[in-house]
Amino acid sequence: MDYIKEIDRILSFIKDLVNKSKAKGIVIGLSGGIDSALTATLCTKAVGKEKMLALIMPCHSNPEDIEDAKLVANHLNIQYKIISLDNVYDTFIEELSKFLPGSQLSKANLKPRLRMCTLYYFANELNYLVAGTGNKSEDDIGYFTKYGDGGVDFLPIQHLYKREVREIAKILGLPEKIINKKPSAGLWEGQTDEDEISNQLGFKITYDELDIMIENIHKGTYDPSNEKYRAVINLMNKNRHKIELPPSLKRKN
C-alpha cells in the first residue's frame, strides 16, 4: 500500500461525505487507543479542528486511558469533553439485575452502547456526523459491539488492517505512547483485545498473525483443513450479522 496516497484517499472520502451530508462537523469518541486516535487525526485533517468534537466517556475506565485520550485531543488541538458514564451505567445495571443477573460480557457491552447514545446526543444537537473507529482486522471477525462502537455514521479506517493503522499513525506523527500501547476495549480490568480475540478463537493469536490469516482467507490462499483458519472463518460467519442490515421479509404482491 502507498500510505501517502491512501491518506489522501481517506481525507477525500471524509470531506465528500461531510459535504454531501450537509453536516457541520464530526464527533468522535476518544478511547485512548490507536484506532480512535488515527480516526480523529484523519477527520481533523479533513474538516479542520474547528469542526471537530471529541468525547472522552469513561465508564469505570482505567484512568490512564482517560489521560491518553486527552493526550490525543491536545496533540490535535481539538475541543474535547469528558463525560463520566459511571453513575448511568451503575443505575442501568442495578435495574436490569432485578430481572437477570447478567454475565460479564452482557454488562461490558452496555458500556459502548451508552457511549453510542452519548455520541448521537451531541451529533443530533450539533448536526455532526459520528465517526466510527473500527479497523478491518476487528470488523471482519465481528470484534465490536453491535449498536455500540458499531453504531456510527461512517468508518474511515474500516478497510485498514491493524498493522496498516500503526504505519499510518507513525506517518501522521501520532504520539509514540499511543502507537505502542497494547490495544484494549476497556471492557473490564486487565482486558486486552488480543487476549479476548484469542479466547473467542480458541488459540493464542496476535494482530499481525490475524491480519495475515484474514488476508489469506479473502484471497483464498489457505488450507481449508487448517483448524485455526476454520476457527477464524467460523467467527467471521458467526458475526456476519453485525455488518449487515437486519434480516427482513420482502413484501408479497
- CATH number of the domain to which 49 belongs: 3.40.50.620
pLDDT at 7 over 90: yes
| Closest C-alpha to 43, from 120, 164, 152 | 152
For residue 228, tell me if it sits in a domain. Answer: no
The rounded mean pLDDT for the chain is: 96
In our burial notation (b when 16+ CB lie closer than 10 A, e otherwise), range 16-55 reads ebbeeeebebbbbbbbbbbbbbbbbbbbbbbbeeebbbbb
For residue 54, tell me if it sits in a domain. Answer: yes
For residue 172, tell me if it sits in a domain. Answer: yes
pLDDT at 133 over 90: yes
* Per-residue confidence (pLDDT) for residue 191, from 0 to 100: 79
Total count of domains within the chain:
1
* Per-residue confidence (pLDDT) for residue 182, from 0 to 100: 87
For residue 168, tell me if it sits in a domain. Answer: yes
For residue 104, tell me if it sits in a domain. Answer: yes
pLDDT at 9 over 80: yes
Q: Are strands 128-130 and 52-56 parallel, antiparallel or unpaired?
A: unpaired
- pTM of the full structure: 0.94
pLDDT at 187 over 80: no
Phi, psi of 28, rounded to the nearest 5 degrees: -140, 145
Domain that holds residue 169: 3-183
Look at residue 50 and give its three-state secondary structure: helix
pLDDT at 65 over 80: yes
Phi, psi of 79, rounded to the nearest 5 degrees: -65, 140
Confidence of residue 253 (pLDDT cuts 50, 70, 90): confident
CA distance 5 to 45: 14
* Per-residue confidence (pLDDT) for residue 100, from 0 to 100: 94
pLDDT tens readout for residues 110-132: 999 999 999 999 999 999 999 99
pLDDT at 245 over 90: no
| Closest C-alpha to 132, from 26, 238, 52, 215 | 26
Distance of CA 207 to the CA centre of its chain: 15
79, burial (CB in 10 Å: exposed 0-12, middle 13-18, buried 19+): middle
For residue 174, tell me if it sits in a domain. Answer: yes
For residue 226, tell me if it sits in a domain. Answer: no
